[in-house]
Structure 1
Amino acid sequence: MYDYRVIVGIEFGATHSGFGYASISSTEDISFYNQWNERLRTIKAPTVLSYDDEYENVQSWGYPALESNHVELFKFLLGEMKNKPPLPREKAISDYLHELSKIVKEEICRRWESIDFYNQVLIILTIPDNYKISTWDIREYAFKAGLLNDCYSQNFKLITESEATSLFCIKYLKKCNLSIGEKFMVVECSDNTINLTTRMLLIDERLSVVLEQIKDNCAVDQELLKFLEQKIGSSAINLLRKHQPQQLQHLQSAIISFLAEFTGTQSESSLIEFDLKDHCPSITEYCEGEYHDNMVRDDWRIKLEFEDVKAMVDPVIERTIQLIDSQLHLRNNDCFALSLVGKFAKSIYFQLRIGETFNKRVQFISVPLHLESAIMRGAVLYGQNFGKNFIYFTNFIF
């Protein structure tokens, strides 16, 4: 018999992973581990590993692994890896979960010194929706990684990322009088994709899938890279991807954070300027030819004018609008609310455009707080209800 005291929600993500935790008696107070990177206080670490030449021993993982040749775990999960290294999928996933589990156990035992980790901690692991691995295999990987005491441990549950996100959104939508039988659409604009899923709230906070998930690869990251290529050249971008991916990621994150304040009104917009040497020091080595000469002339600074920003964000917004419109059309506008999540959902301009387009077709458009931690928060909420009402998901199409 398990006596759960703590819930841990682990996001085993396609590109980044992390975990949040809370006492089972109070999931309003969720904490997140944020010591992944000395430079950035972020709540997620890259889902990557770096091995020795024989792919036997892990040399580094997370942010440190980005500085060397590394394996991207999500490609194992999704079955899409090209030029696959001589590394069994089981080993790669178990190795990453092993490194992650060491941090999880250290953090939980630090906060609750007398806790019995294998009997008093309920672990909810989220995985990408289109994973290609059986749930039993993932359970075995978690056992080999040290997360579980045995393969049949009852304190370990799996849900998909979209299920966790939906539970996170429900918490806010219920405050807006979402009722049993009403439908809502979760619109997630993440680093590299747009994901839409329409669900219906059932009795006892169960959720059904009304329309299956739609996924599109249009994302603001891609549009930003197109802009950077115009300034420093595609060769420099490729070299940064290969040799200094962490610096490139830092530059992208810095620019995208400024894009969130863009309103789409020229009179309210100011010039955005970035010093590339501050955000991406290696760029001076990789930028060549005419691009190098131009950047030297500009003292390695790039400027984002009003039209530059619109050119980056408009394609993503237009595609998102098209996807939402198609889902609403299939349901004859029978949808109570849109819930906007993901990094790009922070954008003021994105929120305004979605609101202007759909405010007469749905009753409510929600932008919850804590968007970056939505999946982990949803996992913890699932764990809180697991021992009480047992939230589960019914997958059928009306």
Structure 2
Amino acid sequence: MPEKEKPALPKGLEYKRAITDYLTEIDIINKLIKKTAATHWPNVNFMKQVLLIMTVLAEFSEQANASIRECAYKAGLILTQYADTLQLTMNMSSYSLFYAAIIYCMRTLKEHIITEDSIGDSAVNLLYENYYSQLQYMVQEFCRHVKLPFTGIRKDFKTYELDIKEVCPVLKQYVTRTSKVKLEKDDWIINLEYEDVKNIFDLVFSWQV
């Protein structure tokens, strides 16, 4: 994330201290896990024999991952900064589902400037490079209102109204032709129905299979 788009921390607090404090609270929870594990495996050495797996964002650099490890060490989760008892794994689920949503839309719209074959040069990548904060916000909104509440049961589903003007206004400049005419007519609002979301999930599952 560009420096100008990073949220400000309270005076006197830097990001590594904030992460370390957060992980320290997790370690308090871990004490219960350690106690429970000890009742089943009395001789287990938690710090040496238990593997901790922590998810990080897919776009994290090696430097960012190293910072996470440093904070985990300071929080007392691992014995050394590069202990092999901590494994960092990329959390791709949110972006996978989000990309699936985009591909689904491209398959549905017959006249769109972006084709499935040109996904590498798509609006998503342009947003990532030039408007990262808006893309991140759109992904978070998609997960909060669509991904997480979705149970796969039709009666549980409520139509989600995606307002492009509110969630990601810069996206409007990448929409052309028939799609633009239709969205302008709909005041840049897209309604996601049950079948739409189910098809998006099905597309993700087909990738993983």
TM-score by length of 2: 0.54
1:219 to 96, 118, 121: 96
Q: What amino acid sits opposite 1:270 in the alignment?
A: K
Once residues 167 and 24 of structure 2 are traced to their aligned partners in structure 1, the CA distance between those partners, rounded to angstroms, is: 32
C-alpha separation in 2, matches of 1:221 and 1:23: 29
Residue 312 of structure 1: how far off its partner (Å): 0.6
Q: Once the 2 structures are TM-superposed, how far is the Cα of residue 296 of structure 1 from its aligned partner?
A: 1.1
Please give the alpha-carbon distance, in whole angstroms, between the structure 2 residues aligned to 1:28 and 1:160.
16
Q: Where does structure 1 lack aligned partners over 5 or more consecutive residues?
A: 1-7, 12-17, 30-43, 49-71, 78-92, 105-116, 125-153, 166-188, 194-217, 323-398
Shift of 1:278: 1.3
Indicate the residue corresponding to 2:140 in structure 1: 253
**Whole-Å separation in 2 of the counterparts to 1:160 and 1:274:** 42
| Equivalent residue pairs, number | 158
Distance 1:244-1:160 versus aligned 2 partners, 3 A rule: farther
1:27 offset after TM fit, Å? 3.6
Deviation at 1:299, TM superposition (A): 0.7
Q: Cα distance 1:19–1:293, how it changes in 2: closer, same or farther (>3 A)?
A: same
Name the structure 2 match of 1:380: none
Corresponding residue for 1:191? 92
- Distance in 2 (CA, whole Å) between partners of 1:306 and 1:225 is 16
Q: How far is 1:304 from its partner?
A: 0.8
Contact 2:57 2:91 in 1 (8 A): no
Normalising by structure 1, what TM-score? 0.31
Structure with bigger strand share is 1
Q: Is residue 2:23 matched to residue 1:20? A: yes
Structure 2 residue ranges without an equivalent (≥5)? 1-16, 33-54, 115-121
Partner of 2:84 in structure 1?
A: 159
Residue identity matched to 2:102? L
2:162 aligned with 1:237: no
Cα offset, 1:46, TM superposition: 5.7
Find the residue that maps to 1:20 and give its secondary structure. Answer: helix
The one-letter amino acid of 1:283's match is L
| CA shift for structure 1 position 233 | 5.2
1:267 and 1:22 map into 2 onto residues whose CA distance is 38
CA–CA distance in 1 between the matches of 2:160 and 2:27?
A: 45
Show the counterpart of 1:308: 196
**Taking structure 1 as reference, are residues 286 and 122 closer, same or farther at Cα in structure 2, changes over 3 Å only?**
same
Aligned-pair Cα RMSD in Å: 4.5
Distance 1:233 1:265, change over 3 A: farther
